[in-house]
Structure 1
């Protein structure tokens, strides 16, 4: 009887455990290397102090809470292609889709700057 009650409680709690895990996974879907790259670039632009390290780490955490990694990667790709230039890269400069992708990233970065800096 006790085992049955324990099993019932476990089954009742399962949906909330799965929801908590998926939310946690969603907020932590950025690979460590991507987070580190962001922090290194942020520190290069803002200074090499412990305070800046913490602010930059806060910034990427905030961005990750707003923007799924797939969308972050798309924006990074568009921005990278824009730096290459040339006729073939015109799509990344002028398309509405590329503008939307980058705008979403810029909004996440602005929010992170407000919160962390």
Structure 2
């Protein structure tokens, strides 16, 4: 009987450790585009970066904070995060200028940027 109790206790400890490890692994994963099944899959840092930039342009008050937060929520509901990230990257690379970034003006790239700008306009219309 003692042997069975020890085996069961060891199994329970191993099961608990495996469960804790699985939970820790899941919590350690950053929220990225990999969690595309979520309706709001934008990482917190991306949302905060957008709100910060929006407030720099529109003002520093509490009302502007709420409007900018609303705006990124609208963008997230209209445009999947991977498309948002692609368009942001294209716009960032295009700022360098020169011949080396000419491919960023290809029709496919322009369409991605247009989609982001449409989402931003939608956010402005709904929130500002």
With structure 2 as the length reference, what TM-score do the two structures score? 0.70
Listed as ranges, the matches of 1:1-40 within 5 Å are 25-40=37-52
Distance 1:26 1:85 in 2: 36
Who is 1:110 aligned against? 121
Distance 1:26 1:103 in 2: 24
Counterpart check, 1:98 vs 2:98: no
Distance 2:51 2:83 in 1: 18
Q: Which has the higher helix share?
A: 1
Deviation string for 1:10-30 (max 9, x for gaps)? xxxxxxxxxxxxxx9532100
Q: 1:58 aligns with which of 60, 63, 70?
A: 70
Query: How many residues of Structure 1 are paired with residues of Structure 2 in the alignment?
Result: 93
Q: 1:67 aligns with which of 74, 79, 85?
A: 79
Distance 1:46 1:73 in 2: 23
Distance 1:102 1:26 in 2: 23
Contact 1:26-1:68 at 8 Å conserved across structures: no
> Which consecutive residues of structure 1, in runs of 5 or more, have no partner in the other structure?
1-23
Which has more radius of gyration?
2
Distance 1:25 1:59 in 2: 21
With structure 1 as the length reference, what TM-score do the two structures score? 0.77
> Which consecutive residues of structure 2, in runs of 5 or more, have no partner in the other structure?
1-35
Counterpart check, 1:78 vs 2:90: yes
Distance 1:63 1:109 in 2: 6
